[in-house]
């Protein structure tokens, strides 16, 4: 049974700062990793996917993957109040990239103006 662990927060950062969100996973064989953002009362929306060790950047977001440590992180630069949401880390249940996802409980981020 795959497990994904996240600090539930809340994580509070001032506007303009870097927010750092962390996630660990239990299955060393996991291949695909995702960060979803979920606003209160809304459904999750994908913001980043990462499959290889190292960093992947997309605008203000950077995902980092370290398979040896079974660790995934998400950095949000120049945090904005609109980034305040719950961030969900997810990995695929199977080896294939389009198998169901196992989610962590999410980290609640609050960006203070």
Partner 1 sequence: DTGVSQNPRHKITKRGQNVTFRCDPISEHNRLYWYRQTLGQGPEFLTYFQNEAQLEKSRLLSDRFSAERPKGSFSTLEIQRTEQGDSAMYLCASSSERQYSTFGSGTRLTVV
In the complex, which residues of this chain contact partner 1 (CB under 8 A)?
4, 8, 34, 36, 42-46, 49, 88, 90, 93, 97-106
Distances from the Cα of 92 to the Cα of 25, 26, 39, 64, 95, angstroms: 11, 12, 22, 17, 7
Min dist. Cβ of residue 66 to partner 1 (A)? 21
**Residue nearer to partner 1 on the CB measure, 17 or 49:** 49
Residue 18's closest CA among 88, 81, 76, 92?
A: 76
The least CB distance from residue 112 to partner 1, in Å, is: 22
Choose between 98 and 113: whose C-beta lies nearer to partner 1. Answer: 98
Q: Give the phi and the psi of residue 81 in degrees, each rounded to 5.
A: -55, -30
Q: Which is nearer to partner 1, 49 or 70 (CB)?
A: 49
- Minimum distance of partner 1 from residue 31's CB (angstroms): 13
Torsion angle defined by CA atoms of residues 51, 56, 59 and 61, in that order, rounded to the nearest 10 degrees: 80
């Amino acid at each position: 049974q795959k497990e994904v662990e996240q600090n539930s927060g809340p994580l509070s950062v001032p506007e303009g700062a870097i927010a750092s969100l962390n996630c660990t996973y239990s299955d060393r064989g996991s291949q695909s990793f995702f960060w979803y953002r979920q606003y209160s009362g809304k459904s999750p929306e994908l913001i980043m996917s990462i499959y290889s060790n190292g960093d992947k950047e997309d605008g203000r977001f950077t995902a980092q993957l370290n398979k040896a440590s079974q660790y995934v992180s998400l950095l949000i630069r120049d945090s904005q109040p609109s980034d305040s949401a719950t961030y969900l880390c997810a990995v695929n249940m199977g080896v294939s990239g389009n198998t169901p996802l196992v989610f962590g409980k999410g980290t609640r981020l609050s960006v203070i103006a």
